[in-house]
């Protein structure tokens, strides 16, 4: 990433005032706000999947507002203050990405005098230490082959669960909010009607996750109309795969198993090189 030690300068033109020949410079002084200079530094030039990229903006004048637009408007965040003295001359930003590829970051800094410095940078997110999830296969679950839709007769195949799998992982809450995380829906599959074909090919989904993170796995019976029943009947209604526990052995297949609820799911994974 080429964000290190970038300098931007806005020099406002001198104000032009009308005056007659009798007026003096003391009677019509020209005014000029202090020039706004902006510097941005980062903690890495090569961000990778799930890594926290820290960017610090330092300015010569106190900041009124900082705006950030990511990837052609895909996301927008801003922090503004109404305080006359502004929010100081330093602001920290935090970025993290779940997918590979290039991102264009566009910044706009406004100081307390209303002067604006816009600038942009393009970064490329690389794989780093990310594990790739290639597939998931549901071997068994609670009440498999039994009735989940009681409106159908015991001999009707439609009584069986319409199975969908969901994967959750953590992400940053706020670009201005430090390193607080929340869980979000990373991947939700289509449902497999009447528990047919419980193998989910994920190779086209580009699911990468840092090997120091954990994955929450949910399993549900899709009842339609955005209504579902969890196929994990106890609390919490998910199970966890902690990738750190496999970082040394690096198996190609990770098996999630809980005999107490007859749950077994096999994940095929691809580990990073090195």
pLDDT at 225: 85
12 vs 105 pLDDT, higher one: 105
State mean pLDDT over 117-124. 90
Distance CA 74, CA 1 (A): 20
Q: Name the band, by pLDDT with cuts 50, 70 and 90, for residue 74.
A: confident
**pLDDT of res. 16:** 25
pLDDT in tens, 19-45: 333 333 444 455 789 999 999 998 887
Q: Please, which residues have CB within 8 angstroms of residue 12's CB and are 6 or more apart in sequence?
A: 32, 33, 35, 115
What whole-number percentage of the chain has pLDDT above 70? Answer: 88
Spatial distance between the Cα atoms of 90 and 36, rounded to a whole number of angstroms: 13
What is the C-alpha R_g of the chain?
A: 27
What is the model's pLDDT at position 177?
81
Q: What is the pLDDT of residues 195-250, one digit of tens each?
A: 999 999 999 999 999 999 999 999 999 988 888 999 999 999 999 999 999 999 99
The per-residue pLDDT for 30 is: 59
Q: What is the mean pLDDT of residues 62-73?
A: 90
Model confidence pLDDT, tens digit, residues 157-195? 999 999 999 999 999 888 998 778 899 999 999 999 999
Element (H, E) at 4: none
Q: Confidence class of residue 84 from pLDDT cuts 50, 70 and 90?
A: very high
Mean pLDDT for 109-127 is 94
Distant-in-sequence, close-in-space partners of 90: CB < 8 Å, separation ≥ 6: 56, 57, 58, 59
Strand partners, 183: 170
Average pLDDT, the chain: 88
């Amino acid at each position: 990433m080429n964000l290190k030690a970038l300098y931007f300068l806005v020099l406002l033109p001198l104000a032009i005032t009308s005056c007659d020949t009798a007026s003096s410079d003391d009677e019509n002084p020209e005014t000029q706000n202090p020039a706004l200079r902006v510097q941005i530094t980062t903690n890495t030039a090569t961000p990778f999947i799930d890594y926290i990229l820290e960017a610090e903006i330092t300015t010569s004048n106190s900041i009124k507002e900082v705006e950030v637009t990511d990837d052609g408007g895909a996301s927008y965040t801003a922090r503004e203050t109404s305080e006359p003295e502004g929010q100081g001359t330093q602001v920290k930003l935090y970025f993290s990405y779940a997918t590979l590829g290039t991102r264009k970051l566009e910044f706009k800094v406004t100081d307390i005098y209303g002067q604006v410095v816009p600038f942009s940078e393009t970064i490329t997110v690389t794989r780093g230490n990310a594990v790739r999830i290639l597939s998931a296969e549901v071997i068994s679950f609670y009440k498999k082959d039994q009735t989940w839709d009681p409106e159908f007769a015991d001999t009707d195949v439609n009584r069986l669960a319409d199975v969908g799998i969901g994967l959750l992982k953590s992400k940053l809450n706020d670009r201005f909010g430090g390193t607080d995380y929340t869980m979000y829906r990373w991947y939700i599959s289509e449902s497999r009607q009447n528990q047919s074909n419980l193998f989910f090919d994920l190779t086209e989904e580009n699911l990468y996750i840092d090997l120091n993170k954990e994955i929450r796995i949910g399993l549900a019976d899709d009842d339609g109309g955005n209504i579902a029943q969890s196929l994990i009947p106890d609390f919490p209604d998910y199970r966890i795969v902690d990738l750190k526990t496999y970082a040394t052995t690096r198996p190609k297949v990770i098996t999630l198993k809980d005999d107490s609820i007859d749950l077994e799911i096999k994940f095929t994974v691809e580990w990073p090189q090195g």
